[in-house]
Every structure is written in C-alpha cells, then in structure tokens.
Amino acid sequence: MIIKLLKILMFYWILTGPLLSNTNYFEEGLSLFKDKKYDQAKFKFEQDIVFNPKNELSYLYLSKIFKNLNKKNLEEQNLKTVILLNPKNEEAIYFLAKLKLDASDYKKSKELNSRLSKLCDKFCDKSMNLKIEIENLSKK
C-alpha cells in the first residue's frame, strides 16, 4: 500500500514538476519587458510559448518587442497569432490596424478598425481616433 502511494506521488511529481517550474516564464518576460530588456524578454516569452502555445499575451508582448525593434513583419505575424487565438483581443486588432495604416493599406486598416469598434470596450477612444486618422490619410 505504501509503495503504491509512493509510486503515485512520484508519478505526480514527475508530471507536474516541470510544468510548475515553467509557469513563470511569462511573468519573467513581462518584468524584463517593463525594464526595456527586450532581447531577454523575447526569450522568456518564447519559452512561455513552448509550454503555453495558446498564451495570447506572450504573442502580444512579442509583437510589442518587434515593434520596438522595428521588425514589422514579425510584429504583424505575432499580432495575427493573437487575433487567431482570441478574435476579440482589442489591443491586437488596434495595433494591427495601426500597422496596416502605416503601410498605407487603408482598406485593411479600415476593416480592422470597424471590427474593433464593434467589440469596443477598452479601445473605444482609440478606435474613434484611428477612424479619423484613416479618413484623413486616405484622402491624401
């Protein structure tokens, strides 16, 4: 009986030990991001994605890092992943619309902003400002 219990506990420890030790990659990445240590933060967010491939926030912060590094393709790729994982992520939709606007893709930017305005909870003001910006730039 005791041997059986020890085997069960050992099996549980083997399965959950690595999972529990890897749960803080996102928090470490966030702390490094706030300290503007982007290369280290990028590595931590990527580690988090290995263990939590559906963590939209890791992809979102990767997009922010790539924005700071002026790597627009990687920024866009990560924003699209966020939206794929959570189609209602207002922040990702907003930043993707801004990215499309910067690339002079007014149609896609307008489409994304329209989608954002329908979801609008935290980004309502930004969505309205973006609408005006799209209209002004598309007239030029």
The number of CA neighbours under 13 Å toward the Cβ of 54 is: 3
Q: Any idea what DSSP says for residue 37?
A: -
Domain ranges of the chain: 23-86, 97-140
pLDDT tier at 23 (50, 70, 90 boundaries)?
A: low
pLDDT recorded at residue 136:
84
Task: Of 109, 83, 86, give the one whose Cα is nearest residue 98.
Answer: 109
Per-residue tokens: 52? 């939590």
So what CATH class is 23-86? mainly alpha
Residue recorded with tokens 């992809």: 59
Residue 9, pLDDT > 80, answer: no
What integer best gives the mean pLDDT of the chain?
88
Give the pLDDT band (50/70/90) at residue 2. Answer: low
Give residue 43's pLDDT band: very low, low, confident or very high (50, 70, 90).
very high
So what's the pLDDT on residue 8?
Answer: 67
* pLDDT confidence of residue 92: 97
pLDDT at 74 over 80: yes
Q: Give the model's pLDDT for residue 68.
A: 96
Percentage of the chain exceeding pLDDT 70? 83
Tell me what percent of the residues of the chain surpass a pLDDT of 90.
66
User: Quick one: which of 63, 55, 66, 98 has its CA closest to 80?
Assistant: 63
Asked whether the predicted pLDDT for residue 58 surpasses 80, the reply is yes
Q: What is the pLDDT of residue 130?
A: 85
